[in-house]
Amino acid sequence: MNSKGEIKRLFEPESVAVIGASGTPGKIGYSVVRNLKNGGYEGKIYPINPKADEILGFKSYSGIGKVDGPVDLTVITVPASLTLASVEEAVAKGTKYITIITSGFSEVGDYETEEKIVACANAGGARVLGPNIFGVFSAAGKCNSTFSANNIFPGNVAILTQSGALGIAMIGKTAAANIGLSVLASIGNKSDLDEADCLEYVIHDNNTKSILMYVEGIKDGIKFMETLKRATAVKPVVILKAGRSERGAMAAASHTGSLAGSDEIFDAVIKQCGAARAETLEEAFNWCNFAANTPPPKKDNYVIVTNGGGIGVMATDACEQYNIPMYDDQNKLQEAFSPMTPAFGSVKNPVDITGGATSKDYNLALEASAVTKEIDGVMALYCETATFDTENLTPMVRDTYKRHMELGKPIVYALVGGEAVSDSIRTLQKDKIPAFSDVMHAVSSLGVAYNYQHYLTRKNDSVDWAKIDTKAINSIIDTALAEGRSFLLASEGYSVMKTAGISIPENSIVTTPEKATEAAEKMGYPVVMKVVSRDILHKSDAGGVILGIKGKDEVAKAYDTIMANSKKYNPKAVIDGIEVTQMVSLGTEFIIGGRRDPAFGPVVMFGLGGVYVEVIKDVVFRALPLNRQEAGDMLTGIKSAKFLEGVRGQAPRDRNSIIDAIIKVATILNECPKITDIEINPIVVYEEGKGLKAVDARIMIEN
Ligand code: COA
């Protein structure tokens, strides 16, 4: 129900009815009709009001049923108590889309009425956006059916927002920042249509060059990911999500009546789908505006030109943060920039033309960056100085920008200074020239656009699964569930690993000291011995684990000690035996896991493992399905990725075996739906070609 053709009528209707239209200025029902009229809407407008004959020059109808022609979109602005009845009338009229501006439904606990509204609409073949929204605007449809701004400045950035109030504020802010909008939609309670449905329209909207989404919580994560991937395949998407902190997440949940998903997973998912995450509104606006109006930074050689060493260093740091590759062919840099750089400046990147630089020096330097074909993009920084001819700042930026545009090269400016500089920035921004008052804003705008291009070139939609006998794994799970357990025993965890082909230390479960000795002798010392009992979960606390056993006598003694300790710890415990396991040799400890996220479904995890995993929390997530390239990106995505290169003279770790294991865990999660959590920790990884060993695998299950 959300293909381009169908959703299009919500944004570009041929006729709009407003139930609750009013002739009283200041009322929401008045503002919607006024905005439609003033926004230049060319379709039919039908105000519906039982008391009025005419509203803002349009014939008013006492009921929607009285309207002669068809109605594509019905906007509802009557109080909550009248909304269901209005929806029934709109559906009876055959309207296709209903936007409900009215508040007072699930967001304040009234789920029942909201459900009835959606059921009624859907039964009649209509879809609902809202309730609790400020409306929808589309430049293509010249249709401003919001109650907010009288005039929305048309342009090429689309905004989809879950928060209505923030959306209204964004209209003002975008206008102030000279950002024109192609689409604006308030998503509200998402009773029926959601952000993914609106994104569907924006994907196909030719006016839209970049997309900004404000999200509080995602209900259908799988649909969101699928649509987001298709959106980023054609245009850049920046997402501003509230709820990063735990308190913020709680506020967001109560605000919209939807649960904010776990933030780490949300973060991972949007990265995986090629979207950028902004921390502030300003960042989001800057990034979207830059991406919509500047040639894409597709290549890999960027230079910084500055008149101040300090801001040059700040920009260099920011380049590292945003992975912008710096051009460093010293000969070419020298050739390009020495004519205008004094001896005490620097022609190395960042190119420092020094505090004495005038507009003429900037013109020369930026002409050099424009014509040097090895340079692919520029960050031009200016710090206000006494020697600079300030009156020439705006023309210098204008001219050098034009030159770079002619040659298809991205350029971004950071102009730092007082009132005159701020005036200059405002003037330049009016002409869509990317001039910012802060180095970070300039570099991050280029960086986000660069990373988006990088994503597009690496984008690979293939999916990799492992060949695993998951039937065998499911039968282990069914046995455990039949015994009333919500977890697998360590020995069962090992069986799962073995079935999946994830290497485990040699092990054997025995029931006599003699058999224990026999097993230990066969696998070689040292060994570890552990109690096997479903009644003892924390084996170490029970004195049920002994490490580093080195000989026959120690095995027999350990057997007796573990038995005695376990019986003392829980006299009623059923003890299935004692597990004798080969102690694994030293390697690098990682963690591989997976779980089911309430919004995004199965996700896999990789990170630094061992006992401090919860303190260090250096883990990354990816939603399913994934391919080997994405699994490989998980390895480089952790902060301690350097461990994979081998530390203190170690050889590089066996990355391929980790990627194999991640794909195997993904396959298990996908094909064994009763597994809720898998955690292999530690998984000890050896040098390249030597594989890994899963030392402990905890698996939680649920019927
Ligand atoms: N059919 C059509 N119109 C009807 C009607 C019906 N069955 N019953 C009443 N109306 C008319 C009213 O007569 C009134 O018109 P009038 O000004 O000519 O008298 C109009 O509908 C609006 O009704 P009213 O009772 O005056 O409501 P209101 O304008 O004070 O409030 C809402 C209505 C929807 C604005 C309000 O309930 C609300 O939800 N406000 C919050 C909106 C919001 O913030 N949304 C989220 C934004 S992010």
DSSP notation for 30-83 = HHHHHHHHHTT--SEEEEE-SS-SEETTEE-BSSGGG-SS--SEEEE-S-HHHH
User: Is 254's pLDDT higher than 70?
Assistant: no
Which of 30, 31, 49 for mutating ligand 1's site (highest number of atoms within 8 Å of CB)? 49
Among 210-214, 232-236, 464-468, 639-643, the least confident range: 639-643
Please state the atom number of ligand 1 nearest to the C-alpha of residue 102: 39
User: Is 2's pLDDT higher than 50?
Assistant: no
For 537-564, letters b (16+ CB in 10 Å) and e give eebeebbbbbeebeeeebbbebbeebbe
Please state the atom number of ligand 1 nearest to the C-alpha of residue 76: 34
User: Is 192's pLDDT higher than 90?
Assistant: yes
For position 490, what pLDDT does the model report? 84
CB 288 within 8 A of CB 452: no
Model confidence at 257, pLDDT cuts 50, 70, 90, reads very low
For position 258, what pLDDT does the model report? 29
Nearest Cα neighbor of 489 from 291, 329, 295, 700 is 700
Give the N- to C-terminal CA distance of the chain in Å, as an integer: 33
Model confidence at 277, pLDDT cuts 50, 70, 90, reads very high
Helical segments of 349-392, H only: 359-371
Average pLDDT over residues 46-58: 97
| Nearest CA, atom 4, ligand 1 | 20
pLDDT tens string 645-703: 988 888 999 999 999 999 999 999 999 999 999 999 999 999 999 999 999 899 999 98
Give residues (CB < 6 A) around ligand 1. Answer: 19-20, 22-24, 27-29, 48-52, 77-80, 82, 86, 101-104, 132-134, 164-165, 186
CA distance linking residue 689 with residue 182, whole number of Å: 53
DSSP state of 186: E
Average pLDDT over residues 424-431: 94
CA distance linking residue 162 with residue 164, whole number of Å: 6
For position 255, what pLDDT does the model report? 37
Please state the atom number of ligand 1 nearest to the C-alpha of residue 163: 48
CB 39 within 8 A of CB 144: yes
pTM flag (> 0.85): yes
| Nearest CA, atom 29, ligand 1 | 27
| Nearest CA, atom 17, ligand 1 | 22
Model confidence at 259, pLDDT cuts 50, 70, 90, reads very low
Alpha-carbon distance values, 658 to 308, 343, 628 (Å): 46, 52, 10
* Two tokens, residue 460: 């690979």
Average pLDDT over residues 173-197: 92
Query: 3-state SS of 604-654?
Result: EEEEECCCCHHHHCCEEEEECCCCHHHHHHHHHHCCCHHHHHCCCCCCCEC
**Largest pairwise CA distance in the chain:** 101
Average pLDDT over residues 95-115: 97
For position 249, what pLDDT does the model report? 55
Query: 331: buried, middle or exposed (CB in 10 Å: 19+, 13-18, 0-12)?
Result: exposed
The mean predicted confidence, pLDDT, of the chain is 93
- Tell me phi and psi for residue 241, to 5 degrees: -120, 130
pLDDT tens string 364-398: 999 999 999 999 999 999 999 988 999 999 999 99
| Nearest CA, atom 19, ligand 1 | 22
CA distance linking residue 279 with residue 492, whole number of Å: 44
Residue with tokens 């750089």: 341
Average pLDDT over residues 486-507: 93
Collect all residues with Cβ–Cβ distance below 8 Å to 146 and sequence separation of at least 6.
31, 32, 35, 134, 135, 136, 137, 152, 184, 186
For position 97, what pLDDT does the model report? 98
How far does the centroid of ligand 1 lie from the alpha carbon of residue 100, in Å?
11
Model confidence at 175, pLDDT cuts 50, 70, 90, reads confident
Model confidence at 540, pLDDT cuts 50, 70, 90, reads confident
pLDDT tens string 305-338: 999 999 999 999 999 999 999 999 999 999 999 9
| Nearest CA, atom 37, ligand 1 | 79
User: Is 39's pLDDT higher than 60?
Assistant: yes
| Nearest CA, atom 23, ligand 1 | 78
Share of the chain above pLDDT 70, in %: 96
User: Is 1's pLDDT higher than 60?
Assistant: no
User: Is 423's pLDDT higher than 50?
Assistant: yes
Residue 661, helix vs strand vs coil: helix
How far does the centroid of ligand 1 lie from the alpha carbon of residue 50, in Å?
12
Listed in order, strand segments (DSSP E) in 209-335 are 210-215, 237-241, 276-278, 302-306
CA distance linking residue 536 with residue 546, whole number of Å: 15
Helical segments of 351-483, H only: 359-371, 393-406, 419-430, 439-458, 470-482
How far does the centroid of ligand 1 lie from the alpha carbon of residue 147, in Å?
12
CB 680 within 8 A of CB 502: yes
Triad 629, 215, 38: Cα angle to 5°: 125
How far does the centroid of ligand 1 lie from the alpha carbon of residue 559, in Å?
78
How far does the centroid of ligand 1 lie from the alpha carbon of residue 125, in Å?
25
Model confidence at 118, pLDDT cuts 50, 70, 90, reads very high
Which of 77, 88, 216, 256 for mutating ligand 1's site (highest number of atoms within 8 Å of CB)? 77
pLDDT tens string 121-150: 999 999 999 999 999 999 999 999 999 867
CA distance linking residue 632 with residue 203, whole number of Å: 29
pLDDT tens string 502-535: 999 999 999 999 999 999 999 999 999 999 998 8
How far does the centroid of ligand 1 lie from the alpha carbon of residue 497, in Å?
62
For the CA atoms of 520, 522, 526, 532, the dihedral, rounded to the nearest 10 degrees, stands at -40
How far does the centroid of ligand 1 lie from the alpha carbon of residue 29, in Å?
6
For position 65, what pLDDT does the model report? 97
pLDDT tens string 680-694: 999 999 999 999 999
How far does the centroid of ligand 1 lie from the alpha carbon of residue 23, in Å?
11
CB 11 within 8 A of CB 41: no
pLDDT tens string 615-637: 778 889 999 999 999 999 999 99
How far does the centroid of ligand 1 lie from the alpha carbon of residue 189, in Å?
18
